[in-house]
Homo-oligomer: A and B are copies of this chain.
Amino acid sequence: MTLTQFNLWIAEIRNDRTRGASELARRSLELLAEAARSLPATDAVELRERLLALAVALSAARPSMTPIQNLLRRWRETLQSSAAPNLAGARCLAAEQAELLMAASRRAVAECAAHTAELLGPGRTVLTHSLSSTVVEACRLLKDTGLRMIITESRPLGEGRQLAERLSAWNVPTTYITDAQMGLFVAQVDAVLVGADSVLADGTVINKAGTYPLALAARDQGVPFYVCCERFKWRALDDPPPELEEMAPAELDTPNWPGVTVRNVYFDLTPARLVSAWIAETGVRWPDVGP
């Protein structure tokens, strides 16, 4: 592989609008494993330096996506702390570490979904917004237990359509609504369940725009609001809040009105006070109750 090839991969990660943060983090690790195996280098030290630089460039491609930051930082740490005897050994070690982290990420999603399914229990009606692979996996686990779903289209790109397709294939009775109808339908459900692109150390949830008003409506209607995501999505106390990525206004498909600015911020922040529980691979975390 060449640096040109790797730059194309970075562009692939940067422009991906269909895969969630966890999937893109695993894809990034896959690309780093491939780079570890085939990037030109004269010795182990040069290889490590070049791989570290690639990992930094990949991380920067999606600044809002904490799992990419966390998993790639973890990978860089293992690279820095390990000493391979030679170039071949260094290639093997770096690729293997990337694959171990991919497996850990997959396992975390599966365990997180299992805890989510257990918390929800059978026969529930659940509303979700946008598309989270952890929510999809929880739906798969519950699909034969009488689960009913209400899902939003999730403008501008309509990730809800992919979810509708999946739920339809699993015969889960599903209601599909515009984002604007969320307040109307939240009163009809047993729980709201969303994934997260990232969670701040204080429990603030960064997820697809629309999550915050949905959480407000859930609270107002007395409906529990659950957030399920693996620990790789949690940011450390000293991490700065991630930038809220803004995508091309063209995704809204509007004419060009002079003086009108079209905004397309993908994420909003839901304060921890609106979250009924956070579900991770380690289990369910309920809000701290004050003294």
Contact = CB atoms under 8 A, between A and B. Distances in A.
Interface size class of A (residues with CB under 8 A): 35 or more
Contact of A259 (B168, B178, B262): B168
Contact of A168 (B165, B209, B258): B258
**Copies, count:** 2
Nearest to A259: B168
A153 B208 CA distance: 17
A56 interface: no
A11 interface: no
Interface stretch (A65-73, A108-116, A210-218): A210-218
Contact of A217 (B152, B173, B208, B213): B213
A184 B209 contact: yes
B216 A268 contact: no
A77 to B, nearest CB: 34
A155 to B, nearest CB: 4
Interface string A231-250: 00000000000001000000
A261 B174 contact: yes
Contact of A176 (B129, B185, B254, B265): B254
Given A168-B257, A171-B259, A173-B259, A178 B252 contact: yes
A177 to B, nearest CB: 5
B176 A263 contact: yes
Contact of A260 (B174, B179, B209): B174
B174 A259 contact: yes
Contact of A264 (B168, B178, B210): B178
A257 B220 contact: no
A263 B216 contact: no
A179 B154 CA distance: 9
Contacts of A265: 177, 181, 184
Nearest to A256: B168
Interface of A: 129, 152-156, 161, 164-165, 167-168, 171-185, 208-210, 212-214, 216-217, 220, 244, 252, 254-255, 257-265, 268
13 contacts: A129-B180, A154-B180, A155-B180, A164-B254, A167-B259, A173-B261, A175-B260, A176-B257, A177-B265, A181-B265, A181-B268, A182-B213, A184-B268
